[in-house]
Chains A and B, each alone.
Chain A
Amino acid sequence: MTSQRNLPAAGLRVIDLGIITAGASTSAILADLGADVVKIESASYLDPFRLWDIAKTDGRWWDASPLYHFTNRNKRGVSIDLKSAAGRELILALVRQADVVVENFRRGVLDKLGLGFAALHAANPRIVLASISSQGEDGPDCHAVSFGSTLDATSGLAWLSGYEGGPPTISGRDLNFPDQVVSIFAAGSILAALQHVAESGEGGHLDLPQRELTSFLIGEEVIMASRGGAERGRMGNKAEAALLQDVFQAQDGWVAVTIASRSEAETLIQELALGGNGDIAKHLSAWVAARSKAAAADALQRLGIPAAPVRGSADLGELSAADLGWAIVNGPDGVPAKGFPFQLQHAPLAVRSRAPALGEHTEAILSDLLGLDRQELDALKAAGITRDVPAR
Chain B
Amino acid sequence: MTATFLSGTVIEVSRPDTPPGIRLAASLATKIAADLGARVVKIEPPGGDPVRRMPPLLDKGDAGSSALFQFLNTGKQAIVLDLEQSRGRDTLASLLAKADAVVEAGDPTPDDGAGGSLVRVRLSPFGNRPDLRAVPVSELTILALGGLLDLVGDPARAPLRLGGHQAAYSAGLAAYAGLMAGLMTRKRHGAGETVNISLLDVALWVNWKSPAGALLLGRAPTRQGPEAEWQVLPCSDGYIALVYADKDWPALCALAREPKLAVGEFANAAGRRSRRQEVLQLLAQAFAGRARNELYAEIKASGIPMGPVLSPAELLEDRQYLARDFMAKVSHADFSAFSMPRVPLRWNGAGFQPRPAPDLPVAEEVIP
Tell whether, in the assembled complex, residue B198 and residue A315 are in contact, meaning their CB atoms are under 8 Å apart.
Answer: no
**CB-defined contacts of A185 to chain B, threshold 8 Å:** 173, 176-177, 344-345
Interface size on A, as a range, is: 35 or more
Chain B nearest CB from A159 CB (Å) reads 5
**Binary B-proximity of A147-186 (CB < 8 A = 1, otherwise 0):** 1011111111111111100011111111101001100110
**CB-defined contacts of A205 to chain B, threshold 8 Å:** 347-349
Residue A247 lies at the interface, judged by CB distance under 8 Å to chain B: yes
Tell whether, in the assembled complex, residue B193 and residue A316 are in contact, meaning their CB atoms are under 8 Å apart.
Answer: no
Residue B262 lies at the interface, judged by CB distance under 8 Å to chain A: no
Tell whether, in the assembled complex, residue B164 and residue A221 are in contact, meaning their CB atoms are under 8 Å apart.
Answer: yes
Query: Interface stretch among A37-45, A306-314, A353-361, A370-378?
Result: A306-314
In the complex, what distance in Å separates the CA atom of A326 from the CA atom of B211? Answer: 13
Tell whether, in the assembled complex, residue B315 and residue A213 are in contact, meaning their CB atoms are under 8 Å apart.
Answer: no
Given A217-B164, A223-B58, A342-B181, is A208 in contact with B344 using a C-beta cutoff of 8 Å? yes
Chain B nearest CB from A233 CB (Å) reads 9
Given A170-B241, A222-B327, A343-B195, is A247 in contact with B175 using a C-beta cutoff of 8 Å? no
Query: Interface stretch among A273-281, A333-341, A384-392?
Result: A333-341
Residue B70 lies at the interface, judged by CB distance under 8 Å to chain A: yes
Q: Which chain B residues (147-168) contact chain A, with CB distance < 8 Å?
A: 147-154, 157-166
Given A170-B241, A172-B224, is A336 in contact with B136 using a C-beta cutoff of 8 Å? no
Of A137, A174, A191, the most chain B CB neighbours within 10 A belong to: A174
Query: Interface stretch among A55-63, A74-82, A83-91, A238-246?
Result: A238-246
Query: Interface stretch among B80-88, B184-192, B252-260, B358-366?
Result: B184-192
In the complex, what distance in Å separates the CA atom of A341 from the CA atom of B68? Answer: 24
In the complex, what distance in Å separates the CA atom of A241 from the CA atom of B207? Answer: 26
**CB-defined contacts of A146 to chain B, threshold 8 Å:** 243, 305, 307
Residue A265 lies at the interface, judged by CB distance under 8 Å to chain B: no
Tell whether, in the assembled complex, residue B177 and residue A311 are in contact, meaning their CB atoms are under 8 Å apart.
Answer: no
Of B160, B161, B205, the most chain A CB neighbours within 10 A belong to: B205
| CB contact between A307 and one of B115, B136, B158 (< 8 Å): that residue | B136
Q: Which chain B residues (288-305) contact chain A, with CB distance < 8 Å?
A: 299-300, 303-305
Given A226-B340, A314-B214, is A180 in contact with B170 using a C-beta cutoff of 8 Å? yes
Q: Closest chain B residue to A228 by CB distance?
A: B313
Residue A142 lies at the interface, judged by CB distance under 8 Å to chain B: yes
Tell whether, in the assembled complex, residue B176 and residue A306 are in contact, meaning their CB atoms are under 8 Å apart.
Answer: no
**CB-defined contacts of A29 to chain B, threshold 8 Å:** 177
Tell whether, in the assembled complex, residue B326 and residue A156 are in contact, meaning their CB atoms are under 8 Å apart.
Answer: no
Residue A272 lies at the interface, judged by CB distance under 8 Å to chain B: no
**CB-defined contacts of A191 to chain B, threshold 8 Å:** 177, 180-181, 183-184
Given A153-B240, A338-B205, A343-B127, is A247 in contact with B159 using a C-beta cutoff of 8 Å? yes
Chain A nearest CB from B17 CB (Å) reads 11
Tell whether, in the assembled complex, residue B162 and residue A145 are in contact, meaning their CB atoms are under 8 Å apart.
Answer: no
Query: Interface stretch among B89-97, B137-145, B264-272, B273-281?
Result: B137-145
| CB contact between A193 and one of B175, B196, B347 (< 8 Å): that residue | B347
Q: Closest chain B residue to A149 by CB distance?
A: B243
**CB-defined contacts of B115 to chain A, threshold 8 Å:** 346
- Grouping DSSP codes into helix (H, G, I), strand (E, B) and loop, the B interface class, with mixed when no group exceeds half, is mixed
Tell whether, in the assembled complex, residue A222 and residue B316 are in contact, meaning their CB atoms are under 8 Å apart.
Answer: yes
**Binary B-proximity of A290-319 (CB < 8 A = 1, otherwise 0):** 000000000001001111111111111111
Residue B54 lies at the interface, judged by CB distance under 8 Å to chain A: yes
Tell whether, in the assembled complex, residue B136 and residue A316 are in contact, meaning their CB atoms are under 8 Å apart.
Answer: no
Residue B308 lies at the interface, judged by CB distance under 8 Å to chain A: yes
- Grouping DSSP codes into helix (H, G, I), strand (E, B) and loop, the A interface class, with mixed when no group exceeds half, is mixed
Chain B nearest CB from A122 CB (Å) reads 15
Tell whether, in the assembled complex, residue A346 and residue B191 are in contact, meaning their CB atoms are under 8 Å apart.
Answer: yes
Chain B nearest CB from A323 CB (Å) reads 7
Tell whether, in the assembled complex, residue A223 and residue B214 are in contact, meaning their CB atoms are under 8 Å apart.
Answer: no
Chain B nearest CB from A297 CB (Å) reads 8
| CB contact between B201 and one of A163, A172, A180, A327 (< 8 Å): that residue | A327
Residue B285 lies at the interface, judged by CB distance under 8 Å to chain A: no
Chain A nearest CB from B144 CB (Å) reads 4
Q: Which chain B residues (208-223) contact chain A, with CB distance < 8 Å?
A: 208-217, 220-223
Tell whether, in the assembled complex, residue B324 and residue A138 are in contact, meaning their CB atoms are under 8 Å apart.
Answer: yes
Q: Closest chain B residue to A192 by CB distance?
A: B180
Chain B nearest CB from A10 CB (Å) reads 8
Q: Closest chain A residue to B146 by CB distance?
A: A311
In the complex, what distance in Å separates the CA atom of A246 from the CA atom of B36? Answer: 37
**CB-defined contacts of B183 to chain A, threshold 8 Å:** 191, 195
**CB-defined contacts of A346 to chain B, threshold 8 Å:** 115, 191-194
Given A150-B243, A175-B152, A247-B144, is A135 in contact with B193 using a C-beta cutoff of 8 Å? no
Residue B250 lies at the interface, judged by CB distance under 8 Å to chain A: no
Tell whether, in the assembled complex, residue B56 and residue A206 are in contact, meaning their CB atoms are under 8 Å apart.
Answer: no
Residue B178 lies at the interface, judged by CB distance under 8 Å to chain A: yes
Q: Closest chain A residue to B137 by CB distance?
A: A306
In the complex, what distance in Å separates the CA atom of A205 from the CA atom of B54? Answer: 37
Of B136, B213, B339, B349, the most chain A CB neighbours within 10 A belong to: B136
- Excluding A158-B232, A344-B182, 15 further A-B contacts by CB distance (< 8 Å) are A8-B189, A157-B162, A173-B229, A175-B151, A192-B6, A198-B187, A226-B316, A241-B54, A245-B138, A312-B210, A316-B147, A327-B201, A339-B201, A343-B201, A346-B193
Chain A to chain B: the 3 pairs with minimum beta-carbon distance, closest first: A317-B214, A160-B163, A188-B177
Chain B residues with a Cβ under 8 A of chain A:
5-7, 19-20, 32, 36, 54-56, 58, 67-68, 70-72, 111, 115, 127-129, 135-154, 157-166, 169-170, 173-185, 187-189, 191-198, 200-217, 220-224, 228-232, 234, 239-241, 243, 245, 299-300, 303-316, 319-321, 323-324, 326-327, 336, 338-349
Name 17 A/B residue pairs within 8 A (Cβ), A-sorted. A67-B216, A145-B304, A157-B166, A168-B309, A170-B231, A181-B170, A196-B5, A206-B347, A208-B345, A212-B326, A225-B313, A239-B138, A256-B159, A258-B138, A313-B214, A339-B201, A341-B177
